[in-house]
Structure 1
Amino acid sequence: MSQRVIDFHCDVLYKMLYTGEVDLAQHESRDITLPKLIEGNVGLQVLALFVEPSLVTGPPRFSQLVRMIDVYHEHMLNHPEIRALKWREELADAVNQQDRINTILSLEGVDALEGDLVYLRTLFHLGVRFIGLTWNHSNWAVDGTLEPRQAGFTETGKQLIKECERLGMTLDVSHLNEAAFWELLELSDRPLIASHSNAKAIFDHPRNLSDEQIKAIIARDGRIGITYVPYFVADKEEVTIDDLVKHIDHIVNLGGNKHVMLGSDFDGIDKKIQGLEHAGQHPALLEVLEKRYGQAFVQDIAHGNAYRFLSQNLPSRAE
């Protein structure tokens, strides 16, 4: 399988920062290493900036995000194969460089912005292009999927949405509760992504999307990143690629063949789907899909749908 891959979600920077194991070329315990990215023919990897509260580090702080971005610059971009992608104008060249792996930064949960939109603008200048608004629970902006009260956006959260739209930062609805999802569609005009979520109709998990949510994302010309998290896929001990394909089938049947992409969540999960244990194994999924749908569809899900979204929604350097 020779298809180049765009993967819209992974947590390798989190692992690199918090374990101190920052050599991208080694550490086989990680799902994402330079050799695995090359093996999987990954042409673009979106890298999440995720900071969680802990007894050691305390609540999420902006300084922790800066340290994670420092790891990115010092220990990922120091490899000549890895390139930072920030602007729409860079996209065409990126696709044509078969010997390069492009990377884009994404924020997973706005907790560490500390309610300060100056910090948001600073992240934009540092190359962050996607904003996941929360991670399962509540923060100063909004409630997540597992927050018991299931509320929507605060007033400061609404200001955050406006500023993201002004800057051209795409909002990510993965981890949002459903009430907040629908409120966001009223507050925002731009296309949205669910970077790493599956179909609730196939497996009823709070992190998966209802049919109505999937249709709304499609209607807005957004994208849904099928995720390899086994406990979002099926309730069984050994989850297979065939189980994952059921979620893809369902989204396609809802009209999403041009809106589905990949959002692995590698290095953010402990259990793995059989045959999809690391970034080098993306082709295993694509081979199954080619037998089912043909080469044109595989090209779309591997990179085409994501590329078209980026070509229309990445900010322009000229604007």
Structure 2
Amino acid sequence: MDWLQLHRNSPVVDAHCDTLTAMEIQNRRLADVGRGGHVDLARLRQGGVKIQFFAAYIAPTHRERAVTRVLELIDRFYGELKLNEEEMMFITGAGDIQRVQNTGKIGALLAIEGGEALGGRLEVLRMLHRLGVRSLTLTWNHRNELADGVSEGGTRGGLTRFGRAVVREMNRLGMLVDVSHLSEAGFWDVLEVSSQPVIASHANSRYVCDHRRNLSDDQIRALAARGGVMGLCFYPDFIHSTAPSLEKLLDHVDHVVSLAGAGCIGLGSDFDGIERTTPGLEDVSCLPRLTGALWRRGYREEEIRGILGGNFLRVLEQVLPSGQEDPGGVSNRGEKVAL
């Protein structure tokens, strides 16, 4: 098997893109071709993506109307699913993962970036879960009702009482807790509170590239020890301070593997949320190049499959609800599910 065939046969998962916001700004649809951005249906196919996380990002400018804003972006997500129902499938339960593989459709997982979207209420979290949200990045860079983000270095604040309650409720509901952008104190609080593996959907190694958004060696070891996964982020500033490249990204892979093995690494491109791209990784269609680079570095087929998506699939299958659930609270078999 050559590396291109390996890529085509792998369950490629990208755990973070900001395409919902980018489509609004660029006035485009997922099915549009040649309208800019980094992610569309054609390029997802070219990149071999099987499951794409779509983040509803709550920008600081929307903080005062965060609940309304997240509903706007979820509505856009639903609209794209409807327009592209022959190409895409909504993932809300662990059972959907196999169905995606069987149908050949692209699986779409709905995520939120920024706990401001909860409006300080667990009831809102539960309603967002009913709408199909299955992953929540607790903070962006700044402080919110859940915790401090990485920009709040002066306070060293971790999870608030509400933030701890959110993590526990997410565990109960079957939602992925995402520690990207979270303060280091908050990271350790999450690992203390969570009964499930957690993810860092888009973050790299701080040892390789000393950026506050990257994870320390201790964080990486702890995340891996709990069965979690970190998604390699393609934002140049998180890869190398002066000369980011695909090969430099693989230096992050090498270091993380030396710390904790290949089982804690996935992909979290941050496409459509970054203003600059890394040479060789200009958009989602370029993902096969990453597979080729891993192959040339000497990684084994099973390690590459895990990095491309198998590791995130493991966490999804463990954390997501076991049944195939309709976001409205009715299973696809017509049975009522518990609300």
**TM-score normalized with structure 1 length:** 0.94
Residues 90-131 of structure 1: per-residue CA shift (max 9 Å, x gap) = 211212333x11110111111121101111111111111111
2:177 is the counterpart of 1:168: no
Give the match for residue 270 of structure 2. Answer: 265
| Structure 1 residue matching 2:109: 3-state secondary structure | strand
Unmatched runs of 5 consecutive residues or more in structure 2: 324-336
CA distance in structure 1 between the aligned counterparts of 2:171 and 2:320, rounded to whole angstroms: 11
Give the match for residue 114 of structure 1. Answer: 119
CA distance in structure 1 between the aligned counterparts of 2:63 and 2:290, rounded to whole angstroms: 39
Does the aligned pair in 2 maintain the 1:290–1:297 contact within 8 Å? no
| Structure 2 residue matching 1:200: 3-state secondary structure | coil
Give the match for residue 332 of structure 2. Answer: none
Does the aligned pair in 1 maintain the 2:140–2:181 contact within 8 Å? yes
Does the aligned pair in 2 maintain the 1:143–1:151 contact within 8 Å? yes
2:148 is the counterpart of 1:146: no
Give the match for residue 194 of structure 1. Answer: 200
Give the match for residue 96 of structure 1. Answer: 102
2:296 is the counterpart of 1:291: yes
- The ranges of structure 1 where at least 4 consecutive aligned residues each deviate by more than 6 angstroms after the TM superposition are none
Count residues in correspondence: 315
CA distance in structure 2 between the aligned counterparts of 1:104 and 1:40, rounded to whole angstroms: 17
2:70 is the counterpart of 1:65: yes
Measured after TM superposition, the shift of residue 284 of structure 1 is 0.6
| Structure 1 residue matching 2:285: 3-state secondary structure | helix
CA distance in structure 1 between the aligned counterparts of 2:35 and 2:265, rounded to whole angstroms: 29
Give the match for residue 35 of structure 2. Answer: 28
2:17 is the counterpart of 1:10: yes
**TM-score normalized with structure 2 length:** 0.89
2:144 is the counterpart of 1:132: no
CA distance in structure 1 between the aligned counterparts of 2:269 and 2:302, rounded to whole angstroms: 21
| Structure 2 residue matching 1:130: 3-state secondary structure | strand
Letter of the 2:279 partner, please give it: Q
Using the aligned pairs only, state the percent identity. 37
CA distance in structure 1 between the aligned counterparts of 2:160 and 2:300, rounded to whole angstroms: 45
Letter of the 2:276 partner, please give it: K
Does the aligned pair in 1 maintain the 2:26–2:36 contact within 8 Å? no
CA distance in structure 2 between the aligned counterparts of 1:51 and 1:241, rounded to whole angstroms: 29
Does the aligned pair in 2 maintain the 1:84–1:104 contact within 8 Å? yes
CA distance in structure 2 between the aligned counterparts of 1:294 and 1:41, rounded to whole angstroms: 19
Give the match for residue 318 of structure 2. Answer: 312
2:225 is the counterpart of 1:219: yes
Unmatched runs of 5 consecutive residues or more in structure 1: none
Does the aligned pair in 2 maintain the 1:22–1:71 contact within 8 Å? no
Q: What pairs with 1:33-72 in structure 2 (closer than 5 Å)?
A: 33-54=40-61, 59-72=64-77
| Structure 1 residue matching 2:156: 3-state secondary structure | coil
Measured after TM superposition, the shift of residue 203 of structure 1 is 0.8
| Structure 2 residue matching 1:254: 3-state secondary structure | helix
Work out which of the residue numbers 115, 128, 131 in structure 2 matches 1:123.
128
CA distance in structure 2 between the aligned counterparts of 1:280 and 1:83, rounded to whole angstroms: 20
Does the aligned pair in 1 maintain the 2:81–2:90 contact within 8 Å? no
| Structure 2 residue matching 1:225: 3-state secondary structure | strand
Measured after TM superposition, the shift of residue 19 of structure 1 is 4.0
Measured after TM superposition, the shift of residue 27 of structure 1 is 4.7
* Larger deviation, residues 200-209 vs 179-188: 179-188
Measured after TM superposition, the shift of residue 23 of structure 1 is 4.8
Distance 1:58 1:188, change over 3 A: closer
Give the match for residue 329 of structure 2. Answer: none
Distance 1:23 1:178, change over 3 A: closer
CA distance in structure 1 between the aligned counterparts of 2:29 and 2:249, rounded to whole angstroms: 31
* Larger deviation, residues 129-138 vs 1-10: 1-10
CA distance in structure 1 between the aligned counterparts of 2:195 and 2:30, rounded to whole angstroms: 40
CA distance in structure 1 between the aligned counterparts of 2:102 and 2:309, rounded to whole angstroms: 13
CA distance in structure 2 between the aligned counterparts of 1:254 and 1:45, rounded to whole angstroms: 27
CA distance in structure 2 between the aligned counterparts of 1:113 and 1:156, rounded to whole angstroms: 11
| Structure 2 residue matching 1:272: 3-state secondary structure | coil
* Larger deviation, residues 221-230 vs 16-25: 16-25
